[in-house]
Structure 1
Amino acid sequence: MRTEATQRIELVFNLFDANGNGVIDIGDFDLMSKRVVGAAADSDEAAKEAVQAAFRRYWVTLETELDSNGDGVVTREEFRGFVLSPERFGPTIGQFADALAALGDPDGDGLVERPRFIALMTAIGFGHANIDALFDAFGPTADDRIPVATWAEGIRDYYAPDKAGIPGDQLVGGPTT
């Protein structure tokens, strides 16, 4: 496992612990889902429902695979190994990636504008400078938009334990533009 992947996963744990209590539970996913949907108020209902379903699946996958003592929470230690197992986690990440990226395209033109991207990534909990660095790393068009497919693929890459030097690395630590 690459150091970059470990750093990315540590950040994800911290973001998923939306209420800051040191563990991940269903309440964290409910809170984050509400924030993300709230940042996309003008998206259609199907896109909102898809991202909510993706958050639910994410939680169910974590709870099913990791909550070994049945206490309804996932600790940092439990979380580390699982999310870096693409064979176990890939379909969940794929659904999440597709739903989140589609939520960023309310007009259905296949492109995500920077303000929408910033709003959704801020709702998840990423820092503004890192969000801008990530958007720039995706190579936006002259009118400051990125393809939905590029963002979805970037999310998948973020969880790949063997990848380094990817756009998603912009989210870890200080931005490196």
Structure 2
Amino acid sequence: MTDVRAEAARRVELVFTLFDANGNGVVESDDFDLMTDRVLKVAVASDETARAALRASLRRYWTTLAAELDADGDGVITVEEFRPLVLDPARFGPAVAEFAEALSALGDPDGDGLIERPLFLGLMEAIGFERANVHALFDAFGPDAEDRITVATWDAGIRDFYAPDLAGIPGDRLVTLPAA
């Protein structure tokens, strides 16, 4: 039996590390700007509407985090302040949904509803995920014969990643290295 709470806790620890894009041990507004820049550098084929949607989604994510989790109002979020994120998704559902939609759309610059592995890898690595884990995630999404997944599959996978009541999901492959 899978420990749902433990898997959710591992996901939240990883997300904190990723959101701390500059690696200074806290999450702050500049981290979201840095992450946005890294992701958009990979999304060169995306149109300005998709790029703006990602910028807006990450800005909303930061403002939601700051409003909900910056307990002492110092403009930074510590890991202790951050841990409730995945464990209380009702507070963050709209921000997660907006981010999921924006990121998955960046993976489909030609609008065919499909995301090819190379762009998926680039976007996920720009966020900070490990390459082997990203490959494992893409494989878990069940790519077609041309090595593509649907936008809807990735969108749902992002939302599931933030759900504390789910375990054994494809996104759990991002937390630990796949077995060799």
Normalization by structure 2: what TM-score?
Answer: 0.96
Instruction: Note if contact 1:67-1:74 (Cα within 8 Å) is conserved in structure 2.
Output: yes
Q: Deviations over 1:23-54 (max 9, x none)?
A: 00001000000000111011100000000000
1:155 and 1:47 mapped to 2: Cα distance?
17
Report the equivalent of 2:83. Answer: 80
Instruction: Report the CA distance between 1:82 and its aligned residue.
Output: 2.8
Worse-matched range after superposition: 122-131 or 83-92: 83-92
Q: How does 1:1-177 map to 2 (within 5 A)?
A: 2-176=5-179
Code of the aligned partner of 2:117: R
Give the secondary structure class of the aligned counterpart of 1:2.
helix
Instruction: Report the CA distance between 1:83 and its aligned residue.
Output: 3.1
1:159 and 1:89 mapped to 2: Cα distance?
9
Q: Spell out structure 1 runs of 4+ moving beyond 3 A.
A: none
1:127 and 1:82 mapped to 2: Cα distance?
22
Code of the aligned partner of 2:149: I
1:111 and 1:82 mapped to 2: Cα distance?
30
Instruction: Note if contact 2:115-2:149 (Cα within 8 Å) is conserved in structure 1.
Output: yes
Code of the aligned partner of 1:2: R
2:179 and 2:49 mapped to 1: Cα distance?
36
User: How many pairs were matched up?
Assistant: 177
Instruction: Note if contact 1:133-1:176 (Cα within 8 Å) is conserved in structure 2.
Output: no
**What is the alpha-carbon root mean square deviation over aligned residues?**
1.0
Identity of aligned residues (%): 65
User: Structure 1 stretches of 5 or more lacking a match?
Assistant: none
Instruction: Report the CA distance between 1:84 and its aligned residue.
Output: 2.1
Worse-matched range after superposition: 64-73 or 104-113: 64-73
